[in-house]
Copies of this chain bind each other. A is one copy, B any other.
């Protein structure tokens, strides 16, 4: 059966690769909608090449600009546009690859309309994990993770094994500062922080990889996706990025997913799930060529963001929401050269200390906490 797919965030790194996957497997997929943010030029090319039935852009101005070139195309905009595309029942699956909390509402719209979600947006589960996972359970909808780590774990857990999990092992390359000192991090430029050794990704996630906040967000996401206690989620630094994560079972057996560092594999897996098929990469994993895999513990003194994420996760309620909001603003300000890389954990920690948390089961409370976090981070930076 052909699947109908929409891609939210089609001009980002994940969105572009997803379009490659769909083009490569054109006998398996129909494209329904595309949604993009600021990058209208790339979206135009995508419209010409991939012929979506509907697109959504950031604002009304962009609608008008597009309308001239594509007079017959249905063009939506804003949060409403994302939700309308995600919730359209023509979809079998929606890839949520917009960055930030913008992913939350369309994820909920898809689930509410019984559409599977390929989730490439961490913030959705970090901010609103309890709400989203409960809804997905209630509607019996698959949330298939696209992040390489969570895709790995998802692939490692077969149906017969899902009740016997003891622990999750989330691996990470350690980012560009793994072998550097804390002082190096204090004086790091944006360029240095963006120079990730293994993965080519968007700038927000690349900075999160440099501070290891990315691993922290992944721990929280894994907690919700797989319903595992924080004490049973370990982070292991693995510079070669070949083992993408692993699961330890009750009997001591560990199942790991491995592969060359390519996002095509987890994106394709999420879209073709539960099937697999030949993919885009001509190269596959050759262990004897890789020759060696290394593992070490993360340095929590150099990377306090990881510790803060565990603390926020374990504290529960709206703490993870606020962690994510504080971090998003701080990363943005670092990318704009307003603060140092090492200011990011400082801002996050201060915000978490000041936050008055509430239960994170109501969407309004989550949005309020998110706004509070953003405002607090901004006020701290503007002071």
**Among candidates B250, B277, B294, residue contacting A292 with C-beta atoms closer than 8 Å:** B294
Interface of A is mostly: mixed
Indicate if A269 sits at the interface (CB-CB under 8 A): yes
Indicate if A288 sits at the interface (CB-CB under 8 A): yes
Please name the residue on chain B nearest to A285 by beta carbon.
B254
Copies of this chain present: 2
A279 to B253, CA, bound (A): 10
Q: Given A250-B277, A250-B279, A258-B254, are A295 and B287 also a contact pair (CB < 8 Å)?
A: yes
Q: Tell me the smallest distance from the CB of A284 to a CB of chain B, in Å.
A: 5
Please name the residue on chain B nearest to A165 by beta carbon.
B276
Q: Tell me the smallest distance from the CB of A315 to a CB of chain B, in Å.
A: 26
Stretch of A57-65, A109-117, A212-220, A260-268 with 4 or more beta carbons under 8 angstroms from chain B: A260-268
Please name the residue on chain B nearest to A281 by beta carbon.
B252
Residue numbers in B under 8 Å from A249 (CB-CB): 276
A121 to B259, CA, bound (A): 32
Q: In chain A between 148 and 189, which residues have their CB closer than 8 angstroms to a CB of chain B?
A: 155-156, 158-161, 164, 166, 169
Residue numbers in B under 8 Å from A2 (CB-CB): none
Residue numbers in B under 8 Å from A47 (CB-CB): none
A155 to B288, CA, bound (A): 23
Indicate if A248 sits at the interface (CB-CB under 8 A): yes
B279 touches A169 (CB 8 A): no
Residue numbers in B under 8 Å from A27 (CB-CB): none
A250 to B279, CA, bound (A): 7
Indicate if A73 sits at the interface (CB-CB under 8 A): no
**Among candidates B166, B255, B272, B290, residue contacting A256 with C-beta atoms closer than 8 Å:** B255
Residue numbers in B under 8 Å from A265 (CB-CB): 251-253
A interface residues, how many (CB within 8 angstroms):
51
Please name the residue on chain B nearest to A255 by beta carbon.
B257
B248 touches A284 (CB 8 A): yes
Indicate if A336 sits at the interface (CB-CB under 8 A): no
B288 touches A297 (CB 8 A): yes
**Among candidates B237, B252, B268, B295, residue contacting A284 with C-beta atoms closer than 8 Å:** B252
Indicate if A278 sits at the interface (CB-CB under 8 A): yes
B259 touches A252 (CB 8 A): yes
A211 to B277, CA, bound (A): 37
List 15 contacting pairs A-B, 8 Å CB cutoff, sorted by A: A155-B253, A161-B276, A236-B288, A246-B258, A248-B285, A250-B276, A250-B277, A251-B265, A251-B277, A252-B259, A255-B255, A255-B257, A290-B295, A291-B296, A292-B293
| Residues of A near any B CB (own CB < 8 A) | 155-156, 158-161, 164, 166, 169, 236-238, 243, 246, 248-260, 262, 265, 268-269, 272, 274-279, 281, 284-285, 287-288, 290-297
